[in-house]
């Protein structure tokens, strides 16, 4: 069976590893082609070679390309010859490592997977081009790149996260940096005394601010987003079984009202927090960013908000998201998600301490009141806000444009999938998928399942599907679906 994997980053590595563990029945000959036009195979944008201050935001003992072997990366790190005589060989489970090292792990695992596949008689080839178009015929899928056309029986989208959103349309303006990565290339272009605006206060924005601080930047740094909310601070992870907000209680609310209403979800969440000795009002209170950081750093041993949010993400995410109707999904994304995402995506404590020190010194500020950013005559940019107008020398874009965005490079491919009847758009971003198999929904009645998707692009239906753990889980789902598909085709 010929499988086209569109994208060659971390999701593709996890998928290939999963296929090797799942689909080998001894009868099917697998011919797998990875399509990736970016220069760095396996690492994607996030894990390319970069500054060591850019850390993976999850502890090393929980990072893996296998959801059932959470220490897989840490075991690799301890055995890797290049780190055998370094501090990394003895890292504890709760250590945070540079992203570039996790990228080296991904590169190593891709090489291992390709070698193992070839030993089994599979072929794994790489086309170093972006896929521009995919169309269906009765028996196969056509994939077009800049250098030609190839064919496949099945297709899996592993497109990764999209590039920054450029909310103020600044591309091409001198001093505007449209992508923060790799930091080691972007940050040296910024003068050390420059006044810098970082658009975005999520993990990418944190990477930029910390990178500037760690490389000796002396000028003031402003981080800005619509809500001005930084990621939380990673606390000790504790096993917690939800008692109030459970699939069963959600199911009862859906049965009573035909769907899960946002107010019912918030009632259940409030009850869960109350039982844990926490208060939803505190979790959504308006506070300055430095106050949030200080509060989170004071509860590293026991953060009930983070514990419950993480538990809900694993235990009841699909029940809640599938239970919401369209209107309540939109209300959730507008009212709840900005405060929930920092709990899902916390930063390492060492990062939080560095940012807080910069805030206390006055070098770093976090804002939520920008109304416009426009190029200034003679260079630099004007920032307009409720506090008037001020000038900065440079802007770094570290924004995200939505729940399931994939960026402009992928748009021609997605449009072709939709136009050929292989896919449907999701109103919350990305493409519609079957939540049981990750297969793309087709608008064509009776269309045979031939296309699948993995990662952020599925978040409109699966919600929050782009974390490495969620990718691992869903890679296994797709691998089993491919195995079933192969057996039916025989």
* 418 and 281 together in one domain: no
pLDDT, tens digit (0-9, with 9 covering 90-100), for 232-251 = 999 998 889 999 999 999 99
pLDDT, tens digit (0-9, with 9 covering 90-100), for 149-159 = 999 999 999 99
**Structure-token pair, residue 400:** 């995200």
The answer to whether residue 488 scores a pLDDT higher than 70 is no
CATH number of 89's domain: 3.50.50.60
**What is the rounded end-to-end Cα distance, in angstroms, of the chain?**
10
* 59 and 154 together in one domain: yes
The answer to whether residue 490 scores a pLDDT higher than 60 is no
* 303 and 329 together in one domain: yes
| Distance from chain centroid for Cα 15 | 16
* 213 and 122 together in one domain: no
The answer to whether residue 278 scores a pLDDT higher than 90 is no
Which range marks the domain in which residue 459 is found? 2-162+403-489
Which of 359, 382, 397 terminates a domain? The answer is 397
237 occurs within a structural domain: no
- 324 bridge partner residues: 260
Mean pLDDT of 289-297: 94
* 155 and 264 together in one domain: no
* 9 and 75 together in one domain: yes
pLDDT, tens digit (0-9, with 9 covering 90-100), for 341-383 = 899 889 999 999 999 999 999 999 999 989 999 999 999 999 9
169 occurs within a structural domain: no
**Structure-token pair, residue 201:** 């206060």
pLDDT more than 90, % of the chain: 78
Helix (H, G, I), strand (E, B) or coil at 171: coil
447 occurs within a structural domain: yes
* 458 and 369 together in one domain: no
User: How many angstroms separate the Cα of 314 from the Cα of each of 85, 133, 220, 268, 320?
Assistant: 37, 35, 39, 16, 11
User: How many angstroms separate the Cα of 446 from the Cα of each of 153, 421, 441?
Assistant: 17, 11, 11
In angstroms, the CA 56 to CA 95 distance is: 10
Nearest to 274 by CA among 304, 249, 317: 304
* 353 and 365 together in one domain: yes
109 occurs within a structural domain: yes
What global pTM score does this model have?
A: 0.92
* 20 and 125 together in one domain: yes
* 34 and 150 together in one domain: yes
The answer to whether residue 32 scores a pLDDT higher than 80 is yes
* 45 and 135 together in one domain: yes
In angstroms, the CA 447 to CA 412 distance is: 22
* 110 and 213 together in one domain: no
């Amino acid at each position: 069976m010929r499988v086209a994997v569109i994208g060659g980053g971390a999701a593709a590595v996890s998928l290939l590893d999963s296929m090797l563990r799942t689909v080998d029945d001894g009868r099917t000959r697998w011919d797998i082609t990875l399509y990736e036009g970016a220069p760095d195979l396996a690492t994607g944008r996030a894990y390319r070679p970069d500054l060591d201050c850019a850390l993976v935001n999850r502890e090393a003992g929980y990072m893996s390309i296998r959801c059932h072997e959470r220490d897989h990366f840490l075991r690799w790190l301890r055995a890797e010859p290049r780190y055998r005589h370094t501090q990394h060989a003895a890292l504890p489970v709760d250590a945070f490592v540079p992203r570039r090292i996790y990228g080296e792990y991904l590169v190593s695992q891709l090489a291992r997977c390709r070698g193992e596949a070839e030993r089994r008689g599979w072929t794994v080839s790489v086309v170093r081009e972006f896929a521009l178009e995919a169309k269906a015929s009765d028996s196969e899928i056509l994939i077009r790149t800049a250098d030609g056309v190839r064919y496949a029986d099945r297709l899996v989208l592993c497109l990764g996260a999209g590039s920054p959103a450029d909310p103020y349309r600044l591309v091409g303006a001198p001093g505007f940096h449209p992508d923060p990565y790799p930091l080691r290339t972007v940050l040296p272009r910024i003068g050390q005394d420059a006044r810098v605006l970082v658009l975005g206060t999520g993990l990418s924005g944190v990477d930029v601010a910390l990178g500037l601080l760690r490389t000796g930047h002396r000028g003031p740094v402003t981080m800005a987003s619509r809500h001005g909310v930084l990621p939380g601070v990673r606390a000790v992870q504790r096993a917690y079984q939800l008692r109030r907000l459970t699939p069963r209680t959600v199911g009862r609310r859906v049965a009573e009202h035909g769907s899960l209403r946002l107010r019912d979800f918030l009632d259940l969440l409030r009850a869960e927090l109350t039982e844990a000795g926490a208060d939803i009002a505190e979790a959504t209170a308006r506070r300055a960013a430095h106050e949030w950081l200080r509060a989170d750093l004071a509860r590293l041993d026991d953060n009930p908000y983070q514990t419950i949010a993480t538990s809900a993400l694993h235990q009841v995410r699909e029940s809640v998201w599938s239970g919401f109707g369209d209107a309540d999904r939109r209300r959730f994304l507008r009212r709840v998600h900005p405060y929930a995402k920092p709990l899902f995506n916390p930063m390492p404590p060492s990062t939080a301490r560095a940012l807080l020190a910069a805030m206390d010194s006055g070098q770093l500020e976090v804002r939520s009141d920008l109304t416009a950013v426009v190029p200034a005559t003679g260079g630099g940019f004007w920032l307009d806000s409720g506090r008037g107008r001020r000038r900065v020398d440079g802007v770094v874009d570290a924004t995200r444009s939505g729940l399931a965005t994939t960026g402009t490079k992928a748009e021609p491919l997605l449009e072709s999938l939709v136009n050929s009847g292989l896919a449907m758009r999701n109103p919350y971003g990305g493409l519609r998928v079957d939540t049981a198999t990750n297969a793309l929904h087709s608008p064509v009645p009776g269309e045979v399942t031939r296309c699948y998707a993995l990662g952020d692009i599925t978040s409109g239906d699966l919600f929050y599907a782009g974390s490495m753990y969620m990718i691992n889980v869903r890679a296994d789902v797709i691998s089993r679906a491919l195995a079933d598909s192969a057996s039916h085709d025989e």
